[in-house]
Amino acid sequence: MGLRLGDVAPNFKVETTMGEIEFHKWKKDLWAILFSHPEDFTPVCTTELGAVARLKPEWEARHVKVVGLSCNDLKSHGAWIDDIQNTQGCSVNFPIIADADRKVATLYDMLDYQDASNVDRRGMPLTVRSVFIIDTMNRIRLIMTYPAVTGRNFAEILRCVDSLQLGDRRRVATPEGWKGIEDEVIIHNGVSDEEAGKLFPGYKKVLPYLRLAKVED
């Protein structure tokens, strides 16, 4: 059975472009995003890593550490980083796991068994574009899986972090299209109307199960 929301994210010790890390110790009591790429020197991946690097101030503001993964060795990663930095206008400021043996990819069920063409020169399957958002207690809070051909929108991943963290702090959920703290949120159904009046003065009761409020955070 694969990993599910609420599971403890498996720990691992690996070599990365920023030295050896043991995942749980490396992330400590912060949030983390672990995301995989099919292979080094591929065009979509190059744009994605540039996007993640440029978002460094946003990750730091949310106390999030990011780590990438690709099914190649450190030497390959180093040469690829040069390409990323030369074309994307940024430095790669986060570690990339060297997972040539597919140790972490297997642990997190990231391998692409659907596309027979998505293999390396040895015929070993590459990874899909997986995303795991992991909270301070090492619990998996969100899993996204994209096919190899579809690049991710990291602004959306950042929005998901905001939603998860706000929900933890304020007992709310975020509706469709929620963009940030300036938008209304949905009061959690576990909050009574009486308690909602105290926690969210002036909230709107659209339906018995749909109550909207503005929050300041």
Catalytic residue among 45, 71, 90, 160: 45
DSSP conformation class of 121: T
Q: How far apart are CA 15 and CA 63, in angstroms?
A: 23
Residue 45 among the catalytic residues: yes
Distances (CA, A) of 118 to 124, 182, 214: 9, 42, 46
Q: Which residues on neighbouring strands pair with residue 133, listed in sequence order?
A: 33, 142
Residue owning tokens 């065009």: 43
Q: In the sheet where 210-213 sits, what is the strand order?
A: 172-173, 185-187, 210-213, 204-207
Rg of the chain (C-alpha set): 19
- Copy the structure tokens of residue 67: 């780590």
Residues with a catalytic annotation lie at 45
